[in-house]
Amino acid sequence: MTRAPSRLAPLLFLNVFLIATCGLVYELLAGTLASYVLGDSVTQFSLVIGLYLSAMGVGAWLSRFLDSQLALRFLDVELAVALVGGLSAPALFIAFGRLDSFEVVLYGVVVAIGVLVGLELPLLMRLLVDEIEFKDLVSRVLTFDYIGALVASLLFPLLFVPRLGLVRTSLVMGMVNAGVALAGSFLLAPWLGRRGPGVRIRAGLVLALLLVALVKADRLSRLAEEELYADEIVYTETTPYQRIVVTGGHKGGFQLFLNGNLQFSSADEYRYHEALVHPAMMAAGGAPRRVLILGGGDGLALREVLAYPSVERVTLVDLDPAMTRLASDLPSLRSLNRGSMRDPRVRVVNQDALVWLGDAVGEWDVVVIDFPDPNTFALGKLYTTRFYRLVRRALAPGGAVVVQATSPLFARRSFWCIVATLRAAGLHVVPYHTTVPSFGVWGYALARATPFDPPAHAPKGLRLRYLDDSALAVLFDFPADMAPVDVEINQLDNQMLVRYYEGEWRRWEE
Amino acid sequence: MSAAAPPPSRRDALRALLGAPAVAAAMSAGGCGARGRPPLPDGALVGGAERLGHRVRDQGAPPVPPADRWSRVGVVIAGGGVAGLAAAWRLARAGMRDFAVLELDAAAGGTAQSGRSPVTAYPWGAHYIVAPLAHERALIALLREMGAIEGEDRDGHPVVAEELRCREPEERIYQHGRWYEGLYLTAGETAEDRAERAAFQREIDRWVGWRDGRGRRAFALPVSAGSDDAEVTALDRMTMAEWMDRRGLRSARLRWLIDYACRDDYGMRPAETSAWAGLLYFASRVRAPGADSQSVVTWPEGNGRLVAQLARAAEGRVRLGVAVCDVVPRGAGAVGAGGAAGARGAGGAGGADVVAIDGSGQPFGVHADQVIFAAPQMIARRVVRPLRDREPSHSSEFEYGAWMVANLHLEGRLREPDGGYPLAWDNVFYRSPSLGYVVATHQSGSDHGDTVLTYYYPLADQAPAAARRHLLGASRDDWAEVILTDLGRAHRDVRERVRRLDVMRWGHAMVRPRPGFAWGGARQAAARPIGSIHFAHSDLSGVALFEEALDQGVRAAEEVLAARGIASESLR
């Protein structure tokens, strides 16, 4: 057997160090990603670390079955780590958005990387065993292995995640692995013989593939976008209607943004949605049968509606099929809305609500209007007298409608403009507000076709987290800094609301 | 230049119809890239009634129908455009249904025709009206029939239903890579520009508030409701450009707005347009000094919706594809064998005989008590026998401009330049010879998905006959190249998005209100009945607007009602 010149040994120990670093980074990536998108970070990290370590054990055990061409095997395993580990984060993000069985993919990837990394050290040690005395070999390999782990655990939170983000960290680590394989093909050339060039070509291909993925990742404008959000982006999609971004992160919860505007945070959305839905359900008599939800494609208002056993039929009209699909399929969102989008009582319609209402037949006991804030003309039209007249027409006798009406504190004129517009459409309106930490003070308008008193009782037996009789009682008082102001009504041909809204939020942003 | 550039003939068409700078810009933007440009979308030249019309024009003596091809009808309405249908509507409102409408084209509505695709209805021409003021009784009555009036405001003016008032964003203008709100380009306005805009606004406000001795507005729609006071009609003796010059209004962007207005309403440049007509555009649609303009009222199919409502009154009484070629007052020389046996007219003026050619080329005749001739004067002088026999001097005063209108069927929406004002109903390119495009689905409330854009191009830079030659000389592909190049300035993906592009060529789209036309006596003389033949067309108002065609049709119909002794409260 040919021997590697011993002066190359230090370089081989550098390989050990890099392999260890990359291996731990993949493990941390998987753990982080799992806790971002699935929540419950303690469980996720425990599971990922446990699986990863045991998979490494499996890899070490398997190494005994490899007897010939050890150098070649070592380098091919290294390239496999580069490929699987390097693509792990982008692949998991893609799988997360599109697959029901995300957990299977996640743990599969963790096990695969673990097995491959577990193969590496035994193979390398067997290569070097004739070169270096055994006690030195063990001591130095393990030393570099543990130093690598330390470096990885420091770099990952301090440098990689803040600077590169998960996807690019994963791709860059893959390239490091491929680079180790490429360098190894030169260091181990005496063992490889004429197989050397083949290894180099494979390493070159893996490097090129990862580089392309890296460039693509940049082109997805993640770099710019990630800086917008406090937390890691776990899902993005650009639809013909909007840009959907789901972020998850350090605090364990997750958030939905549409066109960069926060729609909810899983930490406190219950306050928003309980306050949105239940007063209207109570104002309609407390046992509504037919409910219409306009907007609300996240399925969270729907979750509150479906809690009423009296509800027989819900139609949810949301423009964007990608949004309603996400609410139905994304595991984290599906668990937050308790699978509401798949309830047999629900019919989902993907159409512009104004167009749909114009042709709609049928009567509704409760109409819940949960559109994004009116910051474009396309949204502003859904807050006009025309729209509210169509809503009034769709109300059953005694029916109630509720409108999310932006913040009466930050956008006071906008809020009262929505109230005035509902009144101009012939509805009797009771405005109210609550506090949602993610949003601040938030406002709603409750309305019926005939005069009514605001509901005095929260629903019984629904086990709400926030809304009870005493919480309900204080919703309807408006202190001086949110008191009514003189506003014009919002009509299709003046779109006053969009102008108010633009002016008001700009003031707060400055 | 790569193979991707349009072929030479189309380049010539581009240069002629968009101007050399636009062509250069288009070439540099799309022509020299490595990527070939996609082929032109499918489409066709539509319409084509001019062929049948020109056959009538070029015929020698009008045909004489055989005796068995004569019938009789109380009133023949020659022309099924807005004026003719309005006349029919007015007669029907008075309970008079013994009429027939004869229309040359394959569809009624004239330049207010519309089309329909699986996605939306869309206009082929006229596409909006201005929300009426209280004095516009005929238009209000029509809108009421349609359920389009919600109520009255404090001043007694009607409130048009919200969904019919043009939805915001209504208009935007494109310049140098960006869309801006409105039709007047405020971005980059200097202090002088602002001062001149204010001065112009003061002039308009003065005319908005002006009343004559009889309390009439200086500028009103219809024109017949406005003043004929000398102070007003004096404006008809100068061009809009001269009027601007005299007031020292030189701001390029203000003058462009005026230019746009003249082309939009009349298909003419300000240097040719009567100042009276130019000011009518601005002053007639404001109720009181300082007030906003009256709302624009529109439908996906434009004024096609109004046409459909008018046509309802004439249901079963409209014959399409029929060319009227002779209209003869009874007693002025009988036509054919049936003429001698003509029944006595209820109107007492002797009646009239109408000869027409049907779709199969066969002539037929109609004895009528009255005829409402609801086609433009350029046809009247060839068809109405007394005018043909001795052409009056006023006939040659009527000139008509040529227009091209195209409908572009889109898959999805065009890509918008970053950061600008969003897609509006009316989308205009600063300094383009076109008028830009309107979005058919805008008014239905849809902001996403497939749509149809209607693109307007008046041939305003040549004398009418030359403009018509130009219009008809350009092929569908020439026009497609012009349109896609013009739109491509703001929407880089237009060529990939357009699935179909059809072109309508309106040879005689609109009467041209040159100085002296509106108040020089020609239109007033042409509107006077000849025996039992009454005249109704927007050209008799001097400006081609729906409101005018409606008014002329109603006037002619009320003349006929009076002649027939049918009492009915006037709608004028």
Say yes or no: A303 contacts chain B, CB-CB below 8 A. Answer: no
In the predicted model, what is the mean pLDDT of residues A149-170?
85
Q: What is the pLDDT of residues A119-135, one digit of tens each?
A: 988 988 888 887 788 88
Helix then strand then coil, in percent of chain A rounded to 5, is 60, 15, 25
Residue A94, pLDDT > 60, answer: yes
Candidates B167, B413, B447; nearest CB to A493: B167
Q: How far is the alpha carbon of B309 from chain A, nearest alpha carbon, in Å?
A: 21
Size of interface A-B (CB pairs under 8 A): 54
pTM, two decimals, is 0.79
**Sequence-separated (6 or more) residues with CB below 8 Å from residue B147:** B161
Residue B419, pLDDT > 90, answer: no
Q: Which of B72, B73, B129, B77 is nearest to B554 (CA)?
A: B77
Say yes or no: A495 contacts chain B, CB-CB below 8 A. Answer: yes
**Cα B423 to Cα A333: distance, rounded to the nearest angstrom:** 33
Residue A508, pLDDT > 90, answer: no
C-beta of residue B318 within 8 angstroms of C-beta of residue B101: yes
Q: What is the pLDDT of residues B421-455, one digit of tens each?
A: 999 999 999 989 999 999 999 999 999 999 999 99
Choose from A140-154, A236-250, A403-417, B322-336 the range with maximum mean pLDDT: A403-417
Q: Is B438 exposed, middle or buried (0-12, 13-18, 19+ CB in 10 A)?
A: buried
In the predicted model, what is the mean pLDDT of residues B178-187?
92
Could you say which residues from 347 to 366 on chain A have a Cβ atom under 8 Å away from some Cβ of chain B?
A: 352, 354-355, 358
B167/A240 Cβ within 8 A: no
Give pLDDT, residue B341.
37
Residue B502, pLDDT > 80, answer: yes
Known catalytic residue at A370: yes
Q: Which of A369, A406, A421 is nearest to A501 (CA)?
A: A406
B413/A354 Cβ within 8 A: no
The percentage of residues in chain A with a pLDDT greater than 70, rounded to a whole number, is 92
**Cα A190 to Cα A212: distance, rounded to the nearest angstrom:** 32
How many C-alpha atoms does A322 have within 13 Å on its Cβ side? 15
Tokens of A89: 């984060």
**Sequence-separated (6 or more) residues with CB below 8 Å from residue A201:** none
A493/B295 Cβ within 8 A: yes
Q: Is B246 exposed, middle or buried (0-12, 13-18, 19+ CB in 10 A)?
A: exposed
**Cα A256 to Cα B360: distance, rounded to the nearest angstrom:** 66
Q: What is the pLDDT of residues A446-505, one digit of tens each?
A: 999 999 999 999 999 898 999 999 999 999 999 999 999 999 999 999 999 999 998 887
CA distances from A497 to A374, A382, B163 (A): 7, 10, 17
Could you say which residues from 388 to 447 on chain A have a Cβ atom under 8 Å away from some Cβ of chain B?
A: 389
Give pLDDT, residue B34.
37
A495, closest residue in chain B (CA to CA): B168
- Better-predicted residue by pLDDT, A223 or B82: B82
DSSP for B109-149, please give it.
Answer: SGGG-EEE-SS-EEESS---EEPPPTT-HHHHHHHHHTT-E
Tokens of B179: 């869309």
Tokens of B501: 């592009």
B445/A354 Cβ within 8 A: yes
**Sequence-separated (6 or more) residues with CB below 8 Å from residue A378:** B422, B447, B448
What are the residue ranges of helices labelled H in B269-358? 275-283, 304-313, 336-339
B422/A493 Cβ within 8 A: no
Residue B62, pLDDT > 90, answer: no
A381/B413 Cβ within 8 A: no
In the predicted model, what is the mean pLDDT of residues B355-379?
95
Give the 3-state secondary structure of residue B359: coil
In the predicted model, what is the mean pLDDT of residues B58-78?
92
Give pLDDT, residue A507.
73
Candidates A352, A358, A377; nearest CB to B169: A377
Candidates A355, A376, A381; nearest CB to B167: A381
In the predicted model, what is the mean pLDDT of residues A269-289?
96
C-beta of residue B92 within 8 angstroms of C-beta of residue B313: yes
Own/partner pairs for A138-147, CB < 8 Å, 24+ apart? A140/A13, A140/A16, A141/A13, A141/A16, A144/A13, A144/A14, A144/A16, A144/A17, A144/A20, A145/A16, A145/A17, A145/A19, A145/A20, A145/A121, A146/A20, A147/A17, A147/A20
Give pLDDT, residue A229.
67
Say yes or no: A384 contacts chain B, CB-CB below 8 A. Answer: yes
C-beta of residue A450 within 8 angstroms of C-beta of residue A428: yes
Confidence of residue A372 (pLDDT cuts 50, 70, 90): very high
A495/B168 Cβ within 8 A: yes
Q: Which of A370, A468, A469, A481 is catalytic?
A: A370
- Better-predicted residue by pLDDT, B572 or A43: B572
**Sequence-separated (6 or more) residues with CB below 8 Å from residue A135:** none
Confidence of residue B52 (pLDDT cuts 50, 70, 90): confident
ipTM: 0.84
**Sequence-separated (6 or more) residues with CB below 8 Å from residue A15:** A124, A180, A183, A184, A187
> Which residues in chain A are contacts of B169 at CB distance < 8 A?
377, 495
C-beta of residue A352 within 8 angstroms of C-beta of residue A319: yes
> Which residues in chain A are contacts of B422 at CB distance < 8 A?
376-378
> Which residues in chain A are contacts of B162 at CB distance < 8 A?
384-386, 389, 491-493
Residue A1, pLDDT > 60, answer: no
Q: Which residues of B touch A (CB under 8 A)?
A: 162-163, 165-170, 295, 412-413, 422, 444-449
